[in-house]
Structure 1
Amino acid sequence: MLQKTKGVALNYIRYRETSIIARVYTEDFGLQSYLVNGVRSAKNKNNKIALFQPLTLLDMVVYYKEDRDLHRLSEVKTSYPFQSLPFEVAKTSMGLFVTEMLTKTLKEETGSPVLFRFLVESVLFLEEAQAHYENFHLAFLLKLTSFLGFSPEGAREFENQLREHSYPFLPDSETELALNGLIRYPYGTPAPLSRTARNELLDAVVAYYRIHVDSLGEIKSLPVLREVLS
């Protein structure tokens, strides 16, 4: 049955010689996998594979059947062409990191309009920001916890949970103040952190996720992100 929905592209894997399987978080159906044929063929002139780069915002017409794990697309186009996210190294690295974390933590296969709206608003902030986005990846993960069911009320609860699991996180007063801001305030709110403090907090946030997500595994984009932002 054909259905219209919106989506946020997460990633894709190659399938056979010319196709891909794309993972997309959709507004109406949650996390879905789509078989997209022919996009890696030399005869493909429209570069359709670019639509499935991390965080691309999509308008889609899909063939949806509730009992299937793999679906097909009838139509797909971007709803918001990017001008900065794929071309600025810091933004691209953040995008790869947050999409990897999303693929490891989002499990639901039913739509959540509130979560979808959060994802879209987050992507649009990163795309449009010209300043004060150096902490985006931290704020995104901390805010995402409220949708995953393990949101800390503030810095103290965050720190206490880490200590209970023997993670040595002892922030100074400025880092604790910044952490509270990242949890509670909108994107772009200044939260001054040194490069060292930002990397330490990044490791602490990933450790916090490991406490709550058993299958998190290795985060392959993490070393690249740390290097780019150092």
Structure 2
Amino acid sequence: MIKKTKGIVIHYIKYKETSIIVKIFTRDLGLKSYIVNGVRSPKSKSKMAFYQPLSLLDLVVYDKENASLNRISEVKLSTPFHKIPFDYYRSGTAMFIAEVLGKSIYENYHNEYLFDFLYQVVVLLDQEGINLGNYPIAFLLETSRFLGFSPNNAVEFFEQVHPDVNDSSYAIEEKQHFTQLLKAPFNHEIRIPASIRRKLLDDLLKFYSIHLETFSEVKSLEVLRNLM
């Protein structure tokens, strides 16, 4: 069956000499894997740029029930990027977000509300006037809501992440900034010192690993740390 849908690229792996297998989180079908033949060939009519992390696509796909791999009939950019591919910080952040998503959702996982949110925040990442330093933390906080394990407050969050710490004064500054972001994650006016941002990012990734059994080490974190 042929279906039209929008999609967000999660990642791809090389397959044979000129092909790839790409995971795409689609709005209508969930997370799907597609084989794209010959795309890495110099003569290919398709473009590898379509399949970079977080690319926003309009797709026409073949969707066979119970098939582990499907094929793409037509593809075009839904919203072309103007900044992400040309900005080290934005491209590094995109790589981080895509990797986190790849570790947080599973094959055939379908959530239109999460898709719509992700589409908006990817578009936001490509715009001026955002707080890039806070962006990865804001992304983790808001995405946890759609995945069903968002913390209600700073106390609850830090008790889960640091259960061995009984001192209520632990990381007071970190808790204050966390509370700010919990109320308005993408507020570009919230200023947080780089050292606190690093701690919050590490704690949020630990929080994800507590709630998601499949969540493992995020390899792109080191790149993001260097950028932060």
- TM bracket, shorter-chain basis: over 0.9
Q: TM-score, normalised by structure 2?
A: 0.93
What SS does the corresponding residue of 1:128 show, helix, strand or coil? coil
- 1:30 matched to which residue of 2? 30
RMSD: 1.9
Alignment partner of 1:135 is 2:134: yes
Per the TM alignment, residue 150 of structure 1 is displaced from its structure 2 partner at its CA by 1.0
* Percent pairwise identity: 41
Q: Which amino acid aligns with 2:31?
A: L
2:161–2:206 CA contact under 8 A, matched in 1: yes
Give the counterpart letter for 1:11 in structure 2.
Answer: H
Q: Which moved more, 1:109-118 or 1:17-26?
A: 109-118
Are 2:7 and 2:59, in contact at CA under 8 Å, matched by a contact in 1? yes
Aligned length: 227
CA distance in 1 between counterparts of 2:99 and 2:164 reads 24
2:9 corresponds to 1:9: yes
1-side partners of 2:110 and 2:208: how far apart? 23
Partner residue, 1:221 = 220
Amino acid at match of 1:154: N
Q: Which moved more, 1:188-197 or 1:136-145?
A: 188-197
Distance 1:211 1:110, change over 3 A: closer
What SS is found at the alignment partner of 1:62?
strand
Q: Does the CA contact (< 8 Å) of 1:22 and 1:33 recur in 2? A: yes
Q: Distance in 2 between matches of 1:170 and 1:198?
A: 16
CA contact (8 A) 1:27 1:112 kept: yes
Shift of 1:20: 0.3
Tell me the CA shift for residue 166 of structure 1.
6.4
Task: Give per-residue Cα distances to partners, 1:162-220, cap 9 Å, x unaligned.
Answer: 122669993223x3232123223152342221111111111111111111122222211
Taking a change above 3 Å as real, the CA distance of residues 3 and 35 of structure 1, as seen in their structure-2 partners, is same
Per-residue deviation, residues 102-145 of structure 1 (Å, max 9, x unmatched): 00011261532211100101101111133423211001011111
SS at 2:85 equivalent: coil
Give the counterpart letter for 2:8 in structure 1.
Answer: V
Q: Which residue of 2 aligns with 1:21?
A: 21
Code of the aligned partner of 1:94:
T
In the alignment, is residue 204 of structure 1 matched against residue 203 of structure 2? yes
Q: Distance in 1 between matches of 2:16 and 2:155?
A: 49
- Is 2:124–2:130's contact at 8 Å kept on the other side of the alignment? no
Between the aligned partners of 2:131 and 2:26, the Cα distance in structure 1 is: 28
- The equivalences for 1:79-228 within 5 A come to 79-107=78-106, 109-164=108-163, 170-173=170-173, 175-228=174-227
Task: Confirm or deny: 8 A CA contact 1:181 1:189 kept in the other structure.
Answer: no
Gaps of 5+ in 1: none
SS at the partner of 1:25?
strand
User: Contact (CA 8 Å) 2:10, 2:53: kept in 1 or not?
Assistant: yes
Structure 1 residue 86: Cα displacement:
1.2
SS at match of 2:43: coil
| Alignment check: 8 A CA contact 1:20 1:37 kept | yes
TM-score (ref. length: structure 1): 0.92
Asked whether the 8 Å contact 1:23–1:32 carries over to 2, the reply is yes
